[in-house]
Structure 1
Amino acid sequence: MNQFGITRDHVTGFVVGVGVAAAGYYVYLKNKEQVDEMLANYGIRVPQPEQGDLSKLTLEELMLKKETIEDLIAEKEMALEDSQPLADSSAE
């Protein structure tokens, strides 16, 4: 009868999927350091929240932060240079 509608099996599958995902996330949070280290060994870098103590970062992490900061500085300088001619021409 209802060939294309949502059936009880769909709802059951959805609920089971949400439960498994929640359990997986809980297990990940309990073992976050080990999982992140294992992923890093395979070349998968998990983004970390901003760390306050830069002295604990590796040289590679510090270089990445430095490059990011230099890129941001260059973008800001370019934006300032682009906006200055407009300000100068409007003053005249």
Structure 2
Amino acid sequence: MAILQSINKDHLKGAAVGVGVCAVGYYIYKKNQTKVDGFLKKQGINVQTVNHKDYANMSLEELMESKELIEDLIAEKEVNVEATMEEAVDAE
């Protein structure tokens, strides 16, 4: 409880400013995401995005890696579905 008592208005203002700066930084990044990611890629930093990939601008190697990943995920899902169906049949 001593920690909570030592928090004053300056701490709260600092936290609010920090959250605001982070939000503005994230907004600016998302607005310029392709430019920033392109710059980072030129520097040797591969930033992987979870959201949408622009498959038309990907290299053949990147497309093949994506294809293999998707095929692996499909195989895992099929195994899970088969196992679930077998459990359902065994339960009857």
Q: If the length of structure 1 is used for normalisation, what is the TM-score?
A: 0.66
- 1:43-82 superposed Cα distances (whole Å, 9 cap, x missing partner): 232315234x743322132112211122123223433554
TM-score by length of 2: 0.66
Name segments (4+ residues, structure 1) moved above 6 Å.
none
Per the alignment, residue 45 of structure 1 pairs with: 47
Q: Among the aligned pairs, what percent are the same residue?
A: 43
Query: What is the root-mean-square deviation of aligned Cα atoms in Å?
Result: 2.8
Aligned to 2:16: 15
Q: Which runs of 5+ in 2 are unaligned?
A: none
Q: What number of residue pairs does the alignment pair up?
A: 87
Distance 1:12 1:35 in 2: 30
Q: Answer with 1 or 2: which has the greater Rg.
A: 1
CA distance in 2, matches of 1:60, 1:69: 14
